[in-house]
Chains A and B, each alone.
Chain A
Amino acid sequence: MELVQHLPIDNLVACHSCDLLHEKTALGKGEKAWCSRCGSLLYRTNNNAIEISLALTIASLLLFLFAQLLPFLSIDVDGNKTTIYLISTIDTLSQLDNVLLGIAGALFLVIIPLGVLLLDLLLLSSLYSNKRPLTLFARQLLLLIGRLAPWNMLEIFLLGVLVTIVKLASIAEIALHQGFWAFVALVMINLFVSTTLEPEELWQAIDKH
């Protein structure tokens, strides 16, 4: 315990995978620091990450609305045509007396992704505009975002859509609509944001206020 006094804590970082301490070194734009013992990522830097992420979050929210509310895809079996909307899948599930699957669908397709986007928007816009009262609440927002993040599975759902299309292609005619393409764009942007924005950067931004 006596070691603590001699160590410059603010200039140290502990590896999240193996706990080894490292001295922080300044990184250039886009560079990454790796643990010398287990090889895990220690930290990375990005310029303007907050501005870029805010812009992309607003774009994602619009795409999310398009994906939910515009026709997603239609299926044609011997002249029986149905067009589905993403939002209507949950309605169909809940009508089938399968409450649990309806809840799972609602959580994974709507509530969690929309929740994360709205929390991101609140947090990033308050950091961007330097609003004091919101920063008090920023810590809570970031904690909640961190807890929800592992359950955001839009890209996995997209692969599920592709598998469904291939499965049905032999028995029916499938047409993809605007909602589907908005969803594809949404997934791409989501993947980009998750590789750009480091939670540590947001914590440091909150600390500065």
Chain B
Amino acid sequence: MAGNRQALTAMQAGLASCHVCGKLQSCKADHHCVRCGSRLYQRKPFSVQRSWAFLITALILYVPANLYPIMNTTSLGVKDEKTIIGGVILLWSMKSYPVAVIIFTASIVIPLLKFLVISLLLFSIWKGHSGKLNQQTRLFRIIEYIGPWSMIDVFVVILLVALIQFGGIATVLPGSAAMAFAGMVITTMLSAISFDTRLLWDSE
């Protein structure tokens, strides 16, 4: 453990650790990092606003991502369109339980968890009351780590499209939800990247 005699934050000491390379240095207004040359901020600029903006964009994209088909299959002339949840139900009815659970978790549960946790933390910053900051910080780190795993379904669509091109017998085409879904994952990741956990601790 590193020593901690004076309980002091870098901001209270007039210091900043560069948000790009992490170098700790004294922070004067309008300065650039002495090590990597990036603009120096004590907190990520417009963190709350950017986080909200990306999160709301992601929420909007979540609607078409779930309502429109993610994959269009044509098999012996029979067309079939499947939404994400439709695909999960089909997998479950075919007794592929592990895969159904993986897709359901990655495509439905993780995005919802991300919306919930990031908006709760943003509210917590806005209200200024701290609550259990340890748990909130850990929760954010978990959400940040599992976020990109939502891309699984997009990759599955890409692979199926590339694999199943048998002309008359069977073809798979990406549905309109595929791009909305990819956009949703990317914007939730941008929302997490913009979020600054130090803002949670500033009210302490």
- Residue numbers of A with Cβ under 8 A of B are 1, 3-4, 7, 9, 12-14, 16-25, 33-34, 36-40, 42, 73, 75, 77-78, 80, 82, 84, 88-89, 92-93, 96, 98, 100-101, 104-105, 108-109, 139, 142-143, 146, 150-151, 153, 156-157, 159-161, 163-164, 166-168, 170, 199-200, 203, 207
How distant is B97 from chain A, measured CB to nearest CB, in Å? 11
Identify which of A1, A36, A88 contacts B1 (C-beta below 8 A): A36
Inter-subunit contact A21/B9 (CB<8 Å): yes
B4 and A101 contacting across the interface, CB-CB below 8 Å: no
Contact pattern, B 81-98, Cβ under 8 Å of A = 1, otherwise 0: 000000000010010101
Stretch of B47-55, B58-66, B119-127, B144-152 lying at the A interface: B144-152
Is B25 touching A93 in the complex (CB atoms < 8 A)?
A: no
Q: Please give the distance in Å from A201's CB to the nearest CB on chain B.
A: 11
| Most central of A18, A84, A89, A143 by chain B CB within 10 Å | A18
Is B113 in contact with chain A by the CB < 8 A criterion?
no
CA distance A163 to B153 in the complex (A): 9
Name B residues whose Cβ lies closer than 8 Å to a Cβ of A. Answer: 1-17, 20-26, 35-38, 42, 91, 94, 96, 98-99, 102-103, 133-134, 137-138, 141, 148-149, 151-166, 169-170, 173-174, 178-179, 182, 189, 193, 197-198, 200-202
B201 touches A7 (CB 8 A): no
Closest to B23 in A: A203
A-B contact sample (13 more), CB < 8 A, given A18-B201, A143-B38, A157-B151: A13-B24, A17-B141, A20-B7, A21-B9, A25-B3, A75-B163, A77-B166, A88-B162, A92-B165, A139-B36, A163-B156, A168-B160, A207-B35
CA distance A20 to B12 in the complex (A): 9
Instruction: Give the CA-CA distance A109 to B158 in the complex, in Å.
Output: 11
Given known pairs A18-B137, A19-B201, A92-B161, the reply for A159 and B36 (CB within 8 Å) is: no
Within the complex, what minimum Cβ distance (angstroms) separates A144 from chain B?
A: 11
Are A24 and B2 within 8 A (Cβ)? yes
A-side contacts of B16, CB under 8 Å: 14
Contacts of B170 in A (CB 8 A): 77
Tell me the bound Cα distance from A142 to B162 in angstroms.
34
In the bound complex, residues from chain B placing their C-beta under 8 Å from that of A38 are 133-134, 137, 197, 201
Q: Is the CB of B99 within 8 A of A167?
A: yes
Q: Which of A22, A73, A200 contacts B2 (CB 8 A)?
A: A22
Q: Please determine whether A200 and B156 come into contact, CB atoms closer than 8 angstroms.
A: no
Contact A25 B162 (CB under 8 A): no
Which residue of the partner chain, among A7, A16, A23, A143, contacts B13 with CB atoms under 8 Å? A7
List chain B residues, Cβ under 8 A from A4: 13-15, 26
Which residues from B are CB-within-8-Å of A89? Answer: 158-159, 161-162
Q: Which residues of A contact B138 (CB under 8 A)?
A: 39
Tell me the nearest residue of chain A to B173, going by C-beta: A96
Q: How far is the CA of A98 from the CA of B173 in the complex (A)?
A: 9
Assembled-state Cα–Cα distance A98/B71 (Å): 13
Q: With both chains docked as a complex, state the minimum distance between the C-beta of A125 and any C-beta of chain B, in angstroms.
A: 20
Complex Cα spacing A122 to B152, Å: 31
